[in-house]
Amino acid sequence: MSTIRFQALKEASNRNPVKFEETDRKSTIFGSNVFNEKAMKQYLTSDAFKGVQGAVQHGTKIDRKLADYIAMGMKEWALSKGVTHYTHWFQPLTGTTAEKHDAFFETSYDGSDPVEKFGGAQLVQQEPDASSFPNGGIRNTFEARGYTAWDPTSPAFIFGTTLCIPTVFISYTGEALDYKTPLLRALTAIDEAATEVCKYFDKNVKKVTATLGWEQEYFLIDSALASSRPDLMMTGRTLLGHTSAKGQQLDDHYFGAIPTRALTYMRDLEQECMLLGIPVKTRHNEVAPNQFELAPIFEETNLAVDHNCLLMDVMQKVAERHDFKVLFHEKPFKGVNGSGKHNNWSLATDTGVNLLSPSKTPMSNLQFLTFFINTIKAVNDNEALLRGAIASASNDHRLGANEAPPAIISVFIGEQLTKVLDELEGVTAGKLSPEEKTDLKLNVVGKIPDVLLDNTDRNRTSPFAFTGNKFEFRAVGSTANCSNAMTTLNAIVGKQLRDFKKEVDALIESKDMKKDDAIFNVLREYIKQSKKILFEGDGYSEEWEIEAAKRGLSNFKTTPQALKARASQQALDLFSEMGIMNHIEVEARYEIELEEYTKKIQIEGRVLGDISKNHVIPTAIRYQNTLIENVKGLKDIFGTEFETIAKEQIILIKEISRHIEGINSKVEAMTNERKKANVLTDAQEMAEAYCDKVKPYFEIIREHCDKLELLVDNELWTLTKYRELLFTK
Ligand code: ADP
Ligand code: MG
């Protein structure tokens, strides 16, 4: 009967690992499909090479003539590797990457002189037909079209037979239509602010780079099984399905041996990543069955974000070769853990210092404390904005779901650093006596390094944790483009560092203070002002929700609520002051994210209505008919005695009817709420209606369906079950 499910199960259970052999050692193939320094040195004239390096390191402009030379070298390199097409590769606000392929191949106007061509003009700027990308009203307002422009700080790469050129995507009036542009601006802003602060400690610092190391979690499901579930295919998650008798309660998957098919997939994937210069390093099982994690060595943030976007594409493509489907959704299955994407973040100087790493001397530890405390202050003052930056319909399932960080943003720093901050808080106001300074330097600031790395206990419930030499922003969703989180984090810390510098300079000038006196004084005040954000306890506990409310921390459990902070006056001021986004750009993003939320819930509602009415109910009726036949037969044989003999069947028949009625009435009620929501004109109101009026039906409808799954004959059930999705290896 339920042929698709059983065909899929047969297909999946007959699979063997695909044959795969590594072509070479990882280190020898690393980056060979990237137009990196080595390739540039080989294919570019020395002027062209210097031009690119200057643009990467100092943001100098590349003129048209130089661009022609660079394009020529790039083309020769690509042709030598069998490339036929090129594309501008960019990250529109749809959340996926976009590309439009053009062939190098060209002819003269009359079709003669066929030749491979690629000039500076094609490298530097393109105009994709951008009318169908989300723009939050930007283009409507300005009647402007969008164009893509080369981002030389992220090297071009080859995927398949296409040369991909990372680009920004902006409107002709200059507004950013993508994720990358604001990120690049935020990285410039934090570079400038952090470099100025570094000069208090080391005059030689000329550049500060924000670093990012993401950890990508995902599920790997057999492609035949995944295709047999319309909800997985349409929404990325299962909208119904009774939890499997065995889930993750035995903890037998985490760090266990990776199943052979999955391992072969990972080896193949890692080879692709190596060719593309993505420095993947770690792979392991995660907590839930069929859940895994992949993490690279950290990189400069813009490059790391590109690499994560690219990785998500590559993962899906490589999965096809291994008959897998990758699920990036934050909560594909009820009852087992969801997926996140921890964003490990730090700041590094061009002199090779990690600014969030404690070190050996008191002076460099004062530098560490400066960046450490400024980061805490930035998060303290902008917690709602940071929460808004990670809000999405799918991440709502995860935040606060007792497995992932709560929806309340707080900072965990560990016992040791808590003590250090307590001591710094007691620093005398004004000028410090020589004795106090010596004591501070020897006994407080000087003592940090010894025990710190071993002592940062891993508080897994904290959304923003200091882990020894970096902060780990754990609340980012597994489907997210890291840009949103990283643009916001670097913007708020950049702004904070800028303010810090002003305050310290003011003390030095007006109060005639020594530099380190002034620094101690400002840091002391910051510690006092940032108390509410520091939390060392259990972030999953109810007590924390109550405590956080008392402290005045926000606790936005849903995306429509959380998104408001994205376009608050504070956000508008911050982004424009830092030169990252103007008001139009900020408001456009807020609108787009609201719309995306609404659409996601709308699609889920439709798919759920469809599956429950067209799959679940017909199956339930079929089984109910079998039961009715059975009862009739028993009556024929046993006469009046049938009532006792067929008792259980009759109860089942009634129960099935009750659930069918439940599904029908709730789907109808949900559809009515959708209709009401659809006529609202305000994006915020519409998203709230979908959140508060439509979405609550999902669980109720699901419950009826999941009960029926338990009642109905397994042979008749059409939808692939949880145990089959989760435990097929
Ligand atoms: P885990 O958190 O799983 O125990 P690690 O502490 O080794 O593992 O690092 C996790 C991630 O943090 C890795 O992806 C790594 O690249 C990244 N990371 C380490 N140092 C930095 C840094 N200075 N800046 C940004 N990311 C970093
Ligand atoms: Mg981690």
Mutate to test the pocket of ligand 1, among 208, 255, 278, 298 (most ligand atoms within 8 A of CB): 298
In terms of average pLDDT, the best of 104-108, 373-377, 401-405 is 373-377
Mean pLDDT of 306-312: 97
Mean pLDDT of 4-21: 92
Q: Which two tokens stand for residue 640?
A: 């009046």
Nearest ligand, CA 295:
1
Q: Please state, in angstroms and rounded to a whole number, the distance separating the CA atoms of residues 499 and 355.
A: 18
Distance in Å, CA 456 to ligand 1 centroid: 14
Q: Which two tokens stand for residue 16?
A: 């063997």
Is a pLDDT exceeding 50 seen at residue 141?
A: no
Residue nearest to ligand 1 atom 6, measured at CA: 467
**Lowest-pLDDT choice from 35-44, 359-368, 641-650, 658-667:** 359-368
Where, residue-wise, is CATH 3.30.590.10 in the chain? Answer: 188-595
Q: Give the three-class secondary structure for 462.
A: coil
Distance in Å, CA 342 to ligand 1 centroid: 9
Give the list of residues 6+ apart from residue 42 with CB closer than 8 angstroms, or none.
Answer: 77
Mutate to test the pocket of ligand 1, among 187, 215, 344 (most ligand atoms within 8 A of CB): 344
pLDDT for position 156: 96
Cα separations in angstroms, 462 against 459, 539, 686: 6, 6, 32
Distance in Å, CA 459 to ligand 2 centroid: 11
Amino acid sitting at position 9 = L
Higher pLDDT, 248 or 73: 73
pLDDT in tens, 596-637: 999 999 999 999 999 999 999 999 999 999 999 999 999 999
Amino acid sitting at position 367 = Q
Atom of ligand 1 nearest to the CA of 469: 23
Nearest ligand, CA 300:
1
Residue nearest to ligand 1 atom 22, measured at CA: 346
The whole-model pTM stands at 0.94
Average pLDDT, the chain: 91
Nearest ligand, CA 345:
1
Higher pLDDT, 441 or 575: 575
Nearest 5°: the CA angle 248, 251, 254 is: 100
Q: Please state, in angstroms and rounded to a whole number, the distance separating the CA atoms of residues 287 and 285.
A: 7
Nearest ligand, CA 473:
2
Q: Give the three-class secondary structure for 412.
A: strand
Please name which of 475, 146, 439 lies closest in space to residue 338, comparing C-alpha atoms: 475
Where, residue-wise, is CATH 3.10.20.70 in the chain? Answer: 31-178
Cα-flanking dihedrals φ and ψ of residue 326, to 5°?
Answer: -90, 130
**Lowest-pLDDT choice from 3-7, 76-80, 255-259:** 255-259
Q: Is 278 in the pocket of ligand 1 (CB under 6 A)?
A: no
Provide, rounded to the nearest whole percent, the portion of the chain with pLDDT above 90.
73
pLDDT for position 131: 60
Identify the residue whose tokens are 């039906």.
Answer: 697
Pairing of strands 162-171, 85-89: parallel
Is a pLDDT exceeding 60 seen at residue 456?
A: no
Q: Please state, in angstroms and rounded to a whole number, the distance separating the CA atoms of residues 281 and 274.
A: 10
pLDDT for position 439: 82
Mean pLDDT of 588-593: 94
Q: Is 216 in the pocket of ligand 1 (CB under 6 A)?
A: no
Mutate to test the pocket of ligand 1, among 308, 466, 470, 493 (most ligand atoms within 8 A of CB): 470
Distance in Å, CA 470 to ligand 2 centroid: 11
Distance in Å, CA 641 to ligand 1 centroid: 72
Q: Which residues surround ligand 2, an ion (CB under 5 A)?
A: 342
Give the list of residues 6+ apart from residue 286 with CB closer than 8 angstroms, or none.
Answer: 217, 253, 254, 292, 293, 337, 339
Q: Is 62 in the pocket of ligand 1 (CB under 6 A)?
A: no
Q: Is 339 in the pocket of ligand 1 (CB under 6 A)?
A: no
Ramachandran quadrant class, 136 (left: phi over 0; alpha: psi -120 to 50; beta: rest): left
Q: Is 215 in the pocket of ligand 1 (CB under 6 A)?
A: yes
Q: Is 346 in the pocket of ligand 1 (CB under 6 A)?
A: yes
Nearest ligand, CA 456:
1
Give the ipTM.
Answer: 0.96
- Output the furthest CA–CA distance in the chain (Å, rounded): 106
Q: Please state, in angstroms and rounded to a whole number, the distance separating the CA atoms of residues 727 and 697.
A: 29
In this structure, the chain runs to a length of 729
pLDDT for position 454: 52
Q: Is 203 exposed, middle or buried (0-12, 13-18, 19+ CB in 10 A)?
A: exposed
Q: Please state, in angstroms and rounded to a whole number, the distance separating the CA atoms of residues 396 and 596.
A: 13
Alpha helices (H) along 158-208: 180-198
**Lowest-pLDDT choice from 56-65, 556-565, 579-588, 665-674:** 56-65
Distance in Å, CA 215 to ligand 2 centroid: 7
**Lowest-pLDDT choice from 248-252, 381-385, 406-410:** 248-252
CA torsion 534→536→541→543, rounded to 10°?
A: -60
**Lowest-pLDDT choice from 383-387, 435-439, 585-589, 629-633:** 435-439
Please name which of 507, 86, 5, 20 lies closest in space to residue 264, comparing C-alpha atoms: 20
311 forms beta bridges with: none
What CATH number matches the domain at 188-595, 3.30.590.10, 1.10.1040.10, 3.30.300.30, 3.40.718.10?
3.30.590.10
Q: Is 345 in the pocket of ligand 1 (CB under 6 A)?
A: yes
Q: Give the three-class secondary structure for 155.
A: coil
CB 216, CB 341: distance < 8 Å: yes
Residue nearest to ligand 1 atom 26, measured at CA: 213
pLDDT for position 430: 82
Q: Please state, in angstroms and rounded to a whole number, the distance separating the CA atoms of residues 368 and 60.
A: 31
Q: Is 297 in the pocket of ligand 1 (CB under 6 A)?
A: yes
Mean pLDDT of 400-428: 88
CA torsion 440→441→442→444, rounded to 10°?
A: 50
Identify the residue whose tokens are 């508080």.
Answer: 459
Residue nearest to ligand 1 atom 14, measured at CA: 213
Label residue 252 by pLDDT band (50, 70, 90).
Answer: low
Considering the domain delimited by 31-178, tell me its CATH architecture: Roll (3.10)
Atom of ligand 1 nearest to the CA of 214: 14
Identify the residue whose tokens are 């100087």.
Answer: 349
Q: Give the three-class secondary structure for 414.
A: coil
Q: Is 354 in the pocket of ligand 1 (CB under 6 A)?
A: yes
Cα-flanking dihedrals φ and ψ of residue 548, to 5°?
Answer: -60, -40
Mean pLDDT of 147-164: 93
Provide, rounded to the nearest whole percent, the portion of the chain with pLDDT above 70.
95
Q: Give the three-class secondary structure for 530.
A: coil
Q: Please state, in angstroms and rounded to a whole number, the distance separating the CA atoms of residues 74 and 77.
A: 5
DSSP 328-390: --S-SSTTS---BEEEEEEEEETTS-BTTS--SSHHHHHHHHHHHHHHHHHHHHTHHHHHHTT
Distance in Å, CA 342 to ligand 2 centroid: 6
Q: Please state, in angstroms and rounded to a whole number, the distance separating the CA atoms of residues 168 and 179.
A: 8
Nearest ligand, CA 353:
1
Q: How many other C-beta atoms are found inside a 10 Å radius of the C-beta of residue 113?
A: 9
Q: Please state, in angstroms and rounded to a whole number, the distance separating the CA atoms of residues 14 and 243.
A: 25
673 forms beta bridges with: none
Atom of ligand 1 nearest to the CA of 215: 14
